[in-house]
């Protein structure tokens, strides 16, 4: 690793880095984007992450993508320190202006290298596989940001080499390349699919220093000729930095390794499967859920007699289909061939709970609906407690939330119930209830389920939605959504910490400034 790090920075020539031992006849080639690695340790951590993708041989193209921290603060260290210590607005403006100008020049200089790297990528890959005696039956190309642009341009620059290599899928994540690219030519040599993962929350691409409409934020226009080759996957909760940390999720969700044998293809999906996979407010979150969250949902739904799954199910797609069924009327589900969307389910739960909003519920943000549902359930449960138990209960929630949040200890029991129920806090809540012996009042399907069921009153109807199930499900989905947004924010904060440590800035002043925003 040390040699490859030194050699690439000395020669500025891309190099291939093998991640782990070869696994089978499928090769995944990963291409990172701009400003990926600030030091060798980050590169090592990244290669270890890639090595953990099972079922394939994993290879990375390490290319001179620079890092925006390079010399960014060094010339202005005194100015920044003065600004954070109470300096003048003029000093702050000058420092910020120079930093922005540096960033734009730095990004443009890296962007200018893309064509050169792309031109040689596929021929160099063919030579590398031959030289290292790596025999593969399929090659998947995976690129993020400018790495996605490199892969697209490499296919356009080397069509003959592309046809000679056993190229299967092309996975583009947060791609920094225009939606109007010639996708028919790009997808032509692929035996599999061109998969474009995009998100409207990718603000890094929105702020990119040009007017390019990037595929990382928008879907690739799919013509009838491209329908069988191009798949747009909307990861609604992802920002630009979310793809690599959640790479396993993306690989599973897009069926990159074809473990589901093409289930994602429309011509092989039932109406229920299509409807569930297209529910961007539900399915992507379940794919990214923690094991304990999936376990909770499975146990919750399995206790209903009409459930078609059991408590051992952990597949996000099966859980999504089952939850949508429970959110709809049985007869209507049969008529339309599927249940209801998660958004419709959440609105129904909020109205059933008597929650009022200042605007029509259709215009209320989904996260706000989930937060109101959670707060209502918490307050209903607190009303059943004695004053002494209520104080212990609130202390339990607050302690668990602070443990979960780390740096951001802004939890308010009366204001942010979804934050209170994140991860360890959900366990804290159920543990509190169980220690008081109240869970014996209902059938126990699991400790978490038994405790949480005390928060709602079951509503029984012949064919209507299972409100006792969907109400708690909205609470848990809200927990997952809030946790993911907070983790994305924590990733941004990690960058601040790296800047502070790298340039010896006044740590306490910086942290107080950030925490007050």
User: Is 296 inside any structural domain?
Assistant: no
Claim to verify: residue 10 and residue 90 sit in the same structural domain:
no
- State the helix-helix crossing angle for 467-503 and 342-352, rounded to 10 degrees: 110
Q: Is residue 286 part of a domain?
A: no
Residues 123, 103 within the same domain? no
Cβ atoms of 166 and 136 closer than 8 Å:
yes
Pairing outcome for strands 194-198 and 167-173: parallel
Shared-domain flag, residues 384 and 436: yes
Orientation angle between helical segments 467-503 and 507-515, nearest 10 degrees:
150
The 10s digit of each residue's pLDDT in 472-513 is 888 888 878 877 776 665 555 555 555 445 545 444 544 444
The residues that bridge with 159 in the sheet, in sequence order, are none
The answer on 200 and 106 residing in a single domain is no
**In a shared domain, residues 384 and 469:** yes
Indicate the number of domains in the chain.
3
Same domain? For 29 and 177 the reply is yes
Q: Which two tokens stand for residue 496?
A: 């601040």
Indicate whether 102 and 131 sit together in one domain. Answer: no
User: Range with the lowest mean pLDDT among 125-134, 313-322, 377-386?
Assistant: 377-386
Instruction: Select from 268, 291, 321 the last residue of a domain.
Output: 268
Tell whether 103 and 36 lie within a shared domain. no
Residues 196, 106, single domain; the answer is no
Q: What is residue 127's predicted lDDT score, i.e. its pLDDT?
A: 94
Indicate the range of 37-41, 149-153, 416-420, 438-442 predicted with least confidence: 438-442
The whole-number pLDDT of residue 516 equals: 42
In-domain check, residue 507: no
Q: How far apart are CA 414 and CA 468, in angstroms?
A: 23
Q: Where is mean pLDDT largest: 42-51, 64-73, 128-137, 484-493?
A: 128-137
Let me know the angle formed at the C-alpha of 304 by 303 and 309, rounded to the nearest 5 degrees.
75
- Verify that 173 and 117 share a domain, yes or no: yes
- For residues 93 and 169, membership in a common domain is answered with no
Q: What is the H or E stretch that residue 116 is in?
A: helix 114-131
Nearest to 428 by CA among 476, 460, 392: 392
Per 3-state DSSP, the chain is made up of helix, strand and coil in percentages (nearest 5) of 55, 10, 40
Domain boundary among 112, 145, 169: 112
Assigned domain for 508 exists:
no
Q: Is residue 206 part of a domain?
A: yes
List the domain range (segments joined by +) for residue 94. 68-112
Of the ranges 37-41, 96-100, 456-460, 500-504, which one carries the lowest mean pLDDT score?
A: 456-460
Question: Can you tell me the mean pLDDT for 271-293?
Answer: 85
- Identify whether the C-beta of residue 448 lies closer than 8 Å to the C-beta of residue 297: no
The whole-number average pLDDT for the span 385-405 is 67
Task: Mark whether 204 and 236 lie in a shared domain.
Answer: yes
Span 104-146, pLDDT tens digits: 676 777 888 899 999 999 999 999 999 998 889 999 999 999 9
Please identify, among 112, 139, 168, the residue that sits at the C-terminal boundary of a domain.
112
How do residues 166-213 score in pLDDT, each as one tens digit? 999 999 999 999 999 999 999 999 999 999 999 888 888 887 766 788
Structural domain includes residue 506: no
Residue 276 lies in a domain: no
Cα–Cα distance, 307 to 366 (Å, whole number)? 26
Task: Express each pLDDT in 411-430 by its tens digit.
Answer: 344 444 444 444 444 444 44
Percent of the chain at pLDDT exceeding 90: 26
Instruction: Please tell me what DSSP assigns to residue 140.
Output: E
Structural domain includes residue 279: no
pLDDT tens, 328-346? 877 677 778 889 999 999 9
Which CATH number covers residue 155?
A: 3.40.50.1820
């Amino acid at each position: 690793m040390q040699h490859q790090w030194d050699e690439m920075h000395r020669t500025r020539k891309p190099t291939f880095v093998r991640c782990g031992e070869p696994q089978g006849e499928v090769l995944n080639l990963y291409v990172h984007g701009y400003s990926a690695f600030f030091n060798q340790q980050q590169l090592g951590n990244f290669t270890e992450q890639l090595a953990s993708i099972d079922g394939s041989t994993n290879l990375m193209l390490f290319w001179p993508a620079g890092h925006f921290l390079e010399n960014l603060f060094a010339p202005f260290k005194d100015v920044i320190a003065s600004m954070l210590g109470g300096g003048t607005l003029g000093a702050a403006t000058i420092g910020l202006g120079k930093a922005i100008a540096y960033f734009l020049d730095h990004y443009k200089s890296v962007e200018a290298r893309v064509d050169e790297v792309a031109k040689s990528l596929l021929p160099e890959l063919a030579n590398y596989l031959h030289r290292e005696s790596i025999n593969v039956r399929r090659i998947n190309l995976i690129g993020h940001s400018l790495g996605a642009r490199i892969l697209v341009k490499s296919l356009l620059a080397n069509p003959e080499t592309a046809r000679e290599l056993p190229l299967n899928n092309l996975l583009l994540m947060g791609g920094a390349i225009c939606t109007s690219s010639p996708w028919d030519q790009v997808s032509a040599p692929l035996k599999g699919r061109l998969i474009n993962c995009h998100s409207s929350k990718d603000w890094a691409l929105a702020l990119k220093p040009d007017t390019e409409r990037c595929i990382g934020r928008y879907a690739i226009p799919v013509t009838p000729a491209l329908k069988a080759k191009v798949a747009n996957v909307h990861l609604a909760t992802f920002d630009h930095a979310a793809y690599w940390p959640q790479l396993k999720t993306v690989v599973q969700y897009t069926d990159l390794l074809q473990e589901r044998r093409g289930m994602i293809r429309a011509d092989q999906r039932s109406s229920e499967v299509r409807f569930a996979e297209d529910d961007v407010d539900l399915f992507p979150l379940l794919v990214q859920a923690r094991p304990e969250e999936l376990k909770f949902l499975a146990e919750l739904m399995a206790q209903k007699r009409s459930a078609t799954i059991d408590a051992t199910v952990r597949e996000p797609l099966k859980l999504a289909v089952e939850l949508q069924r429970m959110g709809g009327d049985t007869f209507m589900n049969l008529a339309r061939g599927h249940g209801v969307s998660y958004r419709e389910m959440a609105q129904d739960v909020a109205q059933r709970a008597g929650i009022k909003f200042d605007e029509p519920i259709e215009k209320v943000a989904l996260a706000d609906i989930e937060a109101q549902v959670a707060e209502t359930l918490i307050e209903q449960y607190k009303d059943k407690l004695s004053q002494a138990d209520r104080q212990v209960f609130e202390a339990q929630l607050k302690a668990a939330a602070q443990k979960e949040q780390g740096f951001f200890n802004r939890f308010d029991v009366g204001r942010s119930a979804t934050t209170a129920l994140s991860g360890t806090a959900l366990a804290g809540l159920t543990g509190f209830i169980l220690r008081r012996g109240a869970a014996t009042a209902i059938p126990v399907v699991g400790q978490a389920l038994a405790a949480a069921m005390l928060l709602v009153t079951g509503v029984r109807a012949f064919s209507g939605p299972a409100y006792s199930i969907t109400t708690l499900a909205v609470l848990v989905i809200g927990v997952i959504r809030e946790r993911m947004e907070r983790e994305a924010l924590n990733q941004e904060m990690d960058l601040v910490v790296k800047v502070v440590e790298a340039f010896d800035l006044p740590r306490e002043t910086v942290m107080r400034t950030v925490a007050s925003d």
